[in-house]
Structure 1
């Protein structure tokens, strides 16, 4: 059973508890079904990581896995402005998938790393969750880079891809993590909502070269993973 099928089933089970509108559930599942078709059009930085950047909404009466990250919807709304039910259901389903796919010890490490990223985004991120890493101390930036270094293989695995840590040389993997962070920081500096494929002309001219270089390397890694599927 592939990742998309498992996520849709998880969404259906969660839907029995939350009882959102039929149109909303269909929209979420259709979005997941069409993800592969859109894969080549956007930068793939790890589907779970992307979900952590998507503002989320939640029914206050339900205890969901995402509560471990955000504590509550009200807490999230203090930091990120465009919360949606659709984003929450998608994130919660992916966390449920991770919990089922990973062993107990691996999930414990994974969710610990996810929490570190989430807390950083709530503390340092802009209204869209993007962090300008240039604004952090060198020590804090290095700490977060280590978190991304450790968690990216989990994202690869949960996306059904070969581990980028195994696929790339050590220098390439370092550049990959740097490119992920550079891509995000430029979105933060540009004050762009990452809910779409960002075109180069949307980026200030002074940042376009750095942004394109980061994007080119992310696409290089993505293509290498596709070739090794």
Structure 2
């Protein structure tokens, strides 16, 4: 059974609760095909911007994997208004990939860490799911930072990349995680949505441009190290 057939079957099963339009079904399928054609994707944590590559033939056959984290798309939409059903379906497919690729024990830890991040997005994120880490309790910031440090190797593995924790020194790895959080903080303060396309520095308010550019430089450096 190919990916398109599995996706249609999954949507049919869930149709009793939620009926996506035919146009949305095809758009999701086309987006999955587009993701399969990309050689490399960078994960910058967002509510459903996890850019895990989806291998052919992978999708949840009976229920949406994202429901395990968000309850339902409707529940997510109450908290993050810019969430889309298209993104929700893609995120479900990516979680299905993770479960198949990581194995039972690793997937269990991966899902626990992901739950820390997604629950934080719902509680503290803006309409795009981005968090301004300067505006939330320090204890929570530290919890999210720790989760990011532990989950990033899983994202690297699922993206088919060298593990960032292996190619970087401990100091560089800490700076990398901090850069991901700064990048997200700037998006939150700017009200920008990374799902709408690349964020150029000139779209960011002047007072945030320096730290935004610095975070991008670190992320680019890690990309290059992983590509070597």
- TM-score when normalising by structure 2: 0.82
Does residue 14 of structure 2 align to residue 18 of structure 1? no
Partner of 1:173: 173
Change (3 A) 1:168 1:16: same
Is the Cα contact below 8 Å between 2:48 and 2:88 reproduced in 1? Answer: no
Unpaired stretches in structure 1, ≥5 consecutive residues: 1-7, 55-61
SS of the residue corresponding to residue 78 of structure 1 reads: helix
210-219 vs 27-36, greater mean Cα deviation? 27-36
Q: Is the counterpart of residue 217 in structure 1 residue 213 in structure 2? A: no
1:25, distance to aligned residue in structure 2 (A): 4.1
Distance 1:105 1:85, change over 3 A: same
Aligned-CA RMSD value: 2.4
User: Offset of 1:31 from its aligned partner?
Assistant: 2.8
Are 1:28 and 2:28 an aligned pair?
A: yes
Q: 2:38 aligned with 1:45, yes or no?
A: no
CA displacement at 1:38 relative to structure 2:
6.8
Q: Distance in 1 between matches of 2:107 and 2:147?
A: 15
- Larger mean CA deviation between 17-26 and 185-194 belongs to 17-26
Residue 192 of structure 1 and its aligned partner are, at CA, apart by 1.0
Q: Report how many aligned residue pairs link the two structures.
A: 209
CA distance in structure 1 between the partners assigned to 2:97 and 2:47 by the alignment = 13
Q: Which stretches of structure 1, 4 residues or longer, exceed 2 Å deviation after superposition?
A: 8-12, 19-40, 49-54, 82-85
Q: 3-state DSSP class of the match of 1:131?
A: coil
